[in-house]
Amino acid sequence: MNKKTVLILTYYWPPSGGAGVQRWLKFVKYLPKHNWNPVIFTVKNGEYPVLDEGLNNDVPKGIEVIKSPIWEPYGFYKKLTGRKKNDKINSGFLSEKKKSVFFEKLSVWIRGNFFIPDARKFWIKPSIKLLKTYIQENNVDVFISSGPPHSTHLIAKDLASIFKIPWIADFRDPWTNIDFYNDLLLTKWADSKHKKLEKSVLENANVTLTIGETLASELRQLGAKKVEVIENGYDLNDIKLDAISLDDKFTIAHIGSFTPSRNIASFWMAISELIKEDESFSNSFELKLIGKVDFSVFESLEKYELNSYVNHIPYLAHDLVIKEQMKSHVLLLMINQTPNAKGIVTGKVFEYMASGRPTLIIGPTDGDVSKIVLKCNAGITCDYNDVVKIKQEILQLFNKKKEYKASINSYSRESLTEKLVDILNSLV
- Predicted confidence at residue 8, as pLDDT, reads 98
For residues 209 and 170, the answer to whether their CB atoms sit within 8 Å is yes
Range name among 68-77, 137-146, 287-296, 405-414 with the lowest pLDDT average: 68-77
| Phi, then psi, of 234 in degrees rounded to 5 | -130, 155
Q: Does the pLDDT at position 155 exceed 70? A: yes
Confidence of residue 92 (pLDDT cuts 50, 70, 90): low
Tens digit of each residue's pLDDT (9 = 90 or more) over 305-337: 999 999 999 988 888 999 999 999 999 999 999
> Do the domains 236-409 and 4-233+413-427 match in fold?
yes
Q: Output the CA–CA distances (angstroms, integers) from residue 49 to 151, 256, 258, in the order listed.
A: 18, 12, 14
- Predicted confidence at residue 82, as pLDDT, reads 54
Where do the domains of the chain lie?
4-233+413-427, 236-409
Nearest partner of 344 among 214, 149, 229, 218, judged by Cα: 214
- Predicted confidence at residue 236, as pLDDT, reads 85
User: Rounded to an integer, what distance in angstroms lies between the CA atom of residue 244 and that of residue 279?
Assistant: 28
User: Rounded to an integer, what distance in angstroms lies between the CA atom of residue 46 and that of residue 151?
Assistant: 13
Residues of the chain above pLDDT 90, percent: 74
User: Rounded to an integer, what distance in angstroms lies between the CA atom of residue 376 and that of residue 353?
Assistant: 8
CATH fold, domain 4-233+413-427, is Rossmann fold (3.40.50)
The mean of the pLDDT values for the chain is: 91
Nearest partner of 151 among 185, 187, 127, 179, judged by Cα: 127
Residue 77 half-sphere exposure, CB side, CA atoms within 13 Å?
21
Q: Does the pLDDT at position 241 exceed 70? A: no
Q: Output the CA–CA distances (angstroms, integers) from residue 251 to 38, 284, 377, in the order listed.
A: 40, 8, 21
The model carries a pTM of: 0.87
- Phi/psi class of residue 259: alpha, beta or left (left: φ > 0; alpha: ψ in -120 to 50)? beta
Q: Which secondary structure element, helix H or strand E, spans residue 40, and what is its range?
A: strand 36-43
Nearest partner of 198 among 222, 181, 216, 220, judged by Cα: 222
User: Rounded to an integer, what distance in angstroms lies between the CA atom of residue 270 and that of residue 281?
Assistant: 12
For residues 171 and 195, the answer to whether their CB atoms sit within 8 Å is no
Question: Check: CATH 3.90.1170.50 for 236-409?
Answer: no
Q: Which secondary structure element, helix H or strand E, spans residue 381, and what is its range?
A: strand 379-382
Residues 6+ apart with CB under 8 A from 286: 247, 249, 250, 251, 252, 309, 310, 311
Provide mean pLDDT across the span 140-159.
97
Confidence of residue 181 (pLDDT cuts 50, 70, 90): confident
